[in-house]
A and B are shown apart, each in its own frame.
Chain A
Amino acid sequence: MFAQTAGQLPEAGGIYYTSLLMWIILVPLLVGVGIYFLKSRDSSLHKALSLFAALAAFAGVLALLPLVLKGSAEFCLLDFMQLGLFFKVDLVDWVFAFLISFVWLLATLFSFVYMDFEHHRRRFYSVLIFTLGATLGVVLSADYFTLFLFFEMMTLSSFILVIHEQDQGAMKAGLLYIYLGLAGGLALLFAIMLLYWQAGTVEMMPLLDQVKEYPTLIFVLFLTGFGIKAGLVPLHIWLPKAHPVAPSPASALLSGIMIKTGAYGILKTALVLYQAPPGQEAAGYSSYLFNLGSGLMWVGIITMFSGAVMALLQDNMKRILAYSSVSQIGYIATGLGTALLMQADGAMGFTGALYHVINHAFFKAGLFLVAGTIYMYTRELELKRLGGMFKKMPLTGVVFLVCAFGIAGIPGFNGYASKTLIHDAMLLALEATGFYSIKAAEMIFTLTSALTICYFIKLFRGVFLGPVPKNLDRQYTLALSTKVVLGTFGAVIILIGLFPDFILQNFLTGSALLLSYTGPVMDHLYHFHFFAWPMLKPMVVIVALALAIYFTGDRYRWFNWQPPFWLSIEGLIYQPATIFLYNFTGRAGFALDRRVDQSYLGLGKVTGRLVARVVDFEGLIDKLYQRWGLVGRQVIQKTAQMDEGLDRFYQKSGRAAKKLAEGTEAMDSSLDKFYLKTGGAAKKLAAKTAQMDESLDKFYQKTGRGAKKLADQSARMDEGLDELYQKTGRAAKKLTDQAARADASLDRAYKKTSKGPRLLSEYVTGLEGLLHAFFDAAGKAARKIFGQRRPGGKDEPGPGEGEER
């Protein structure tokens, strides 16, 4: 389908293909980025660029008017982000685009003076202009995907406007804003995905018959996503926090314009996307759409009422205005809901809602700029500390009154026209269906309108009437641009109020035709008389009711009641939800993660224990080995002992052998001695024998022959004896030889040992000499030193000299 759209050439069937659409968005975006990088101490360059971009966008939108009156303008960037970006402007889109660029221009002009009192001006102008591009992108987009892109861009960039002050309150409000904004974005994204999946396209056109699954979910998701931005109850909680903390021109745009992008989205979803298919099929969707429509209407009714009540209870000027915005968005949602439940006959609700979008943009932006003007000069927003400003700033007071009359719906001012249309639409719905619920809604509508007047009386009295506080009692001179901007807002409100038909007949009926509204309601619209009595009557009732409520309430001090925290939406829904989310996701996730980690550690521990067991087993084996080892050692020890025993035995036996040997030796020597003794005895015997021989000789001689025989025998014995003598002589000689040898060796040993002492004594004498020499030298040196020292000592300062000092 994208390719088809892209293929359509200029001027085919009332569709104008023009890149102007892209430039309207791109110029502010680029200039916005450019301002940020143009650093200069003087901000006039930034102002000039901002004004240029705002003017360019405004001029571009104006240039589109001839095209949208005849048909529509389209443009696409194919394949951009793979899905392509598609832009399309018809009359409905143009009304939004015009409002955005016009009010933005005025607010930018206003901010020039306002921001001179502020810091971070470069960032402010940069973001302000960038946001203009993003916001225009939202309403110029042809499909939800493109819309979503710019929607997110707008959320992020306007966040910087919200937190501009960067104090704690602004940061807190900003965070709430961005988190809810992103959550809304995600809801939108889910809806867009579901739509794309089923229809194959996300173009903003009637697709109800293609959405077979989850149509209600898609509707609710869209409503949530856009509702957060628009500030529908109970999704509004960021709005009264974020709008007041922003700088006033930004608050004016946030409240006057940016919440309308939410309304734009709801409008496109409820009245275009969920348009009943033409022809026979329509009947099948009738009751379904009626339910959706009444749901939306009731959301609107609740929003308008609770917004008004909360506004009445505030004491801060900008907070009242912020809650008022919530309330007024309720009107728009009510109008859209009525249009949806009436289906083809819903033209009245649609025109009323669209008209209120226009009107609210003017009076709410005007009111915030009035608040900004007062804050700029007084630095005060609390009603209790303001007063009497009408005298000090009359023009501001007049513009405030005009805007207040506009918002209150006083005939002659613009709000009257749109409120009348919405009220009339409800009456028509009541007429068509006859449901009491619609009657009840209509009564709440009346009550809310009365409450609106009440909180503006409170606001006006607080700021403009009464005595001027002393610290604020001085002369105030408004800058020309401030006067021009405020004057323009006042003039526009009065002009629309006086000529309500102009916008209705030129733009709104044409828009209604685009949404294929037909039938008698359209005729009714063509001939609508705003200033006829049936239309004026409800307003009279409302004003009367308002006066009654205000004076009663004021008397009994109803408006000073502060609702306890638990009763607020924040206390009832958001805080528990946040706590739940944090506990459920953050803490539970963290706990789970820890548990997993710990389970691994546990597994590790188990493994560790297992390993320990194995170690134990190993220890057991080890012990076993040790025991075996012990046994082995014992065996070895025993063996060793045995060995030792054997050794000892050997030693003993050795000793015995030695003794034996010694014994043998002793025996030998004793034998020797014995032989020697026997030798001596033999000699004696020989001597005795010789004596005996002589005597024998004598005897022989005496005796004769017998004697000669005896002599022979004796000679023989003599010979034997001689031999014996020789033997013993040899033994004796050996003995003496050995003794002589031992003597010689002993002699040598003595000689050797005597050499050592001799050397030692030689050394000692040498050392003695050295020592002598050393002592001599030392003595000499000492003498020298002492000899030198004595004069050195004389140089030392004497104690007497020290005392002198």
Chain B
Amino acid sequence: MLSQTTIFTLQMIIVGFPVLMTPVIVFGNRVSEKFRNALAVMTAFVTLVLTLSLYPFVRDGKILQKSLFEILPGLSISVRLDLLSFSLAAIAAFVWFLCTIYSLDYMAHEHARNRYYPVLIFTLGACQGIFFAGDLFSLFVFFELMSVVAYVLVIHEQTEEALKAGYKYLVMTIIGGLFLFFGIIIIFELGGTVSLGTGAIITEKSLLGLLAFLCFLSGFGMKAGMFPLHVWLPDAHPVAPSPASALLSGVMLKTGAYGLMRVLFDVYAIDLLLESGWNIILAVLAIITILLGSAVALTQTDIKRRLAYSSIGQLGYVMLGLSILNNNAITGATFHIFSHAFMKSALFLAAGAVIWKTGKRNVADLKGIGRLMPVTMGSFSLAALAMIGIPPLNGFLSKWTLALGALDAHIPGYVVVLLVSSLLNALYYLPIIIPAFFENPPGEKEDGTSASRDLVIKIKEATPVMLVAIVMLALCTLFFGLTPRNLAFALSRAIALFFVGGGA
């Protein structure tokens, strides 16, 4: 069994290694491009393995909370590891690794590769730092670090559109960061500490407490694409290179949700939130976010913009689950973080492969693409069906659990919202999938003899490296829905049990 010190060291390595590797990767380019790429993949892989190696520790329900040094009395830089940290860190490392692999081929013909890889790896370190932070202040520092550095990923293309989106992203990020900082100051003033894992810092209703709550809601909600702070998201995610979009949508959005979870569980007493009805603010915003994201996705014609709006809606599910604050709802919300990471990363990577191969971004142009790229579009379809919530895919399981949570809270209206959103998901995903497989690609003429139609179209798939990443993620949507020994679901259950107890 690993001791606390070992675990602590491991955590420091997980955060520090990618950050330290960043300059190495930059200079690795001098040796050769391949060497640099290998370094990037190796770093992501090592981070993944080390992160997963923390599992035995958290499996036993152990918690690590360690203060590094104090800045002010009560305000210290500290490290924490519990189920929630582990879950998010594991999913982040996993998706990051696959996206790094995918980048190898995707980015091969892009410009500024020597800027892309170091930034990609650096953000991994920063992201892990968010999840391992033991207090709000450290969390905030890593949060800002990741957000600001990710700007480089957003503007990678350096087109006018990308720069504009990046500018919006940066402005919103900075404003969000200021809100967070303000919130942290209020909490420190009220409670004398911003450390996580103290049970609850704020237990009494106060105006300042509410103000801090709203600040956190704005700061973290901004990152998670919560209405009305989502406006940067549909601009920023589509313009980034596809692996980066997958990470932005699949993982980095989750840092916002993670922050909200920490605020709801570790900063405020759950009873306080339920009594004062502050959670209703979150619920209302979440509902608007869900419906708005799904509805606007309907009207988008650019495939990546459609996916970005879909992300807004899906993160709304997570926030809705969090606002309900009972066992099933938290389980559902946490599991949906897992689910959405797999689904949306798979979707973005598959869409990226299509764009990479054919240059087609418009949904209307994707007719017959499934016959040209059957594996890519097959994975896309699997992930999209999971989004709609078709059993036995993981999206169904998260919706089911969320809905049970809503019913446990005696609010069937939330279930209706979830179901309407599912229908809308179907309305914007099926018009991509169905023509992709059952209509003919433009230019591919049918020959008259209908009997041999199956065999006329030549397959033009993406490269194996890209396919590995796409297929792995798509299979995860199936695996984490179907399997009886569902690690992700067990973790979600345990997290819900840990934070809100077994009661309804």
User: Which A residues form the contact surface with B (CB < 8 A)?
Assistant: 41, 77-83, 118-123, 148-149, 152, 156, 160, 163, 166, 171, 174-175, 178-179, 182-183, 186, 189-190, 193-194, 196-197, 214, 582, 585-590, 592-593, 596-597, 599-600
Residues of A near B412 (CB, < 8 A) are 194, 214
Distance A123 CA – B374 CA, assembled complex (angstroms): 14
Task: Check: B192 CB closer than 8 A to any chain A CB.
Answer: no
Given the known inter-chain contacts A175-B434, A186-B419, please indicate yes or no for A122 contacting B454, CB distance below 8 A.
Answer: yes
Distance A345 CA – B439 CA, assembled complex (angstroms): 53
Distance A193 CA – B484 CA, assembled complex (angstroms): 20
Contact B419 A190 (CB under 8 A): yes
Contact B439 A120 (CB under 8 A): no
The residue from B295, B415, B439, B453 contacting A193, defined by CB atoms under 8 A apart: B415
Contact A586 B295 (CB under 8 A): yes
Residues of B near A156 (CB, < 8 A) are 385, 390
Contact A179 B427 (CB under 8 A): yes
Given the known inter-chain contacts A156-B390, A190-B415, please indicate yes or no for A589 contacting B291, CB distance below 8 A.
Answer: yes
The residue from B227, B298, B455, B481 contacting A596, defined by CB atoms under 8 A apart: B227
Contact A589 B404 (CB under 8 A): no
Contact B407 A197 (CB under 8 A): yes
- Mark contacts of B413-453 with chain A using CB atoms, 8 A cut-off: 1 yes-contact digit, 0 otherwise: 00110010011101100100010001110000000001111
Residues of B near A585 (CB, < 8 A) are 291, 294-295, 298, 424
Most buried by A among B228, B291, B295, B482: B295
- List 9 A-B pairs, Cβ < 8 Å: A81-B392, A82-B489, A119-B452, A163-B438, A175-B434, A186-B423, A196-B404, A586-B295, A586-B298
Task: Check: B23 CB closer than 8 A to any chain A CB.
Answer: no
Contact B391 A80 (CB under 8 A): no
Distance A194 CA – B403 CA, assembled complex (angstroms): 9
The residue from B299, B422, B438 contacting A166, defined by CB atoms under 8 A apart: B438
Contact B400 A149 (CB under 8 A): no
Contact A589 B296 (CB under 8 A): yes
Distance A434 CA – B440 CA, assembled complex (angstroms): 61
Task: Check: B337 CB closer than 8 A to any chain A CB.
Answer: no
Residues of B in contact (CB 8 Å), total: 50
Task: Check: B369 CB closer than 8 A to any chain A CB.
Answer: no
A-B interface contact total, Cβ < 8 Å: 119
Contact B295 A590 (CB under 8 A): yes
Task: Check: B397 CB closer than 8 A to any chain A CB.
Answer: yes
Contact B484 A77 (CB under 8 A): yes
Quick one: closest A residue to B335, CB to CB?
Answer: A82
Task: Check: B6 CB closer than 8 A to any chain A CB.
Answer: no
- Mark contacts of B83-96 with chain A using CB atoms, 8 A cut-off: 1 yes-contact digit, 0 otherwise: 00000000000000
Distance A183 CA – B430 CA, assembled complex (angstroms): 13
The residue from B292, B397, B426, B454 contacting A593, defined by CB atoms under 8 A apart: B292
B332 to chain A, nearest CB (A): 11
Residues of B near A182 (CB, < 8 A) are 388, 423, 426
Residues of B near A214 (CB, < 8 A) are 412
Given the known inter-chain contacts A119-B454, A585-B294, please indicate yes or no for A171 contacting B426, CB distance below 8 A.
Answer: no
Distance A118 CA – B430 CA, assembled complex (angstroms): 26
B312 to chain A, nearest CB (A): 9
Contact A118 B489 (CB under 8 A): no
Residues of A near B298 (CB, < 8 A) are 582, 585-586, 589
User: Can you add 12 more A-B contacts, CB < 8 Å, to A41-B455, A586-B299, A589-B299?
Assistant: A81-B391, A171-B434, A174-B434, A175-B434, A179-B427, A182-B388, A182-B423, A183-B423, A186-B422, A190-B419, A586-B295, A590-B295
Task: Check: B231 CB closer than 8 A to any chain A CB.
Answer: yes
A482 to chain B, nearest CB (A): 19
What are the nearest 8 A-B pairs in CB distance? A589-B295, A79-B484, A119-B450, A197-B407, A585-B295, A586-B298, A119-B453, A149-B391
A799 to chain B, nearest CB (A): 64
Distance A81 CA – B397 CA, assembled complex (angstroms): 7
Distance A77 CA – B292 CA, assembled complex (angstroms): 39
Distance A597 CA – B168 CA, assembled complex (angstroms): 11
Distance A80 CA – B231 CA, assembled complex (angstroms): 40
Distance A193 CA – B397 CA, assembled complex (angstroms): 12
Distance A587 CA – B485 CA, assembled complex (angstroms): 43
Task: Check: B486 CB closer than 8 A to any chain A CB.
Answer: yes
Residues of B near A123 (CB, < 8 A) are 454
Distance A118 CA – B449 CA, assembled complex (angstroms): 10
Given the known inter-chain contacts A585-B424, A593-B296, please indicate yes or no for A197 contacting B404, CB distance below 8 A.
Answer: yes
Distance A114 CA – B426 CA, assembled complex (angstroms): 33
Most buried by A among B397, B400, B407, B440: B400
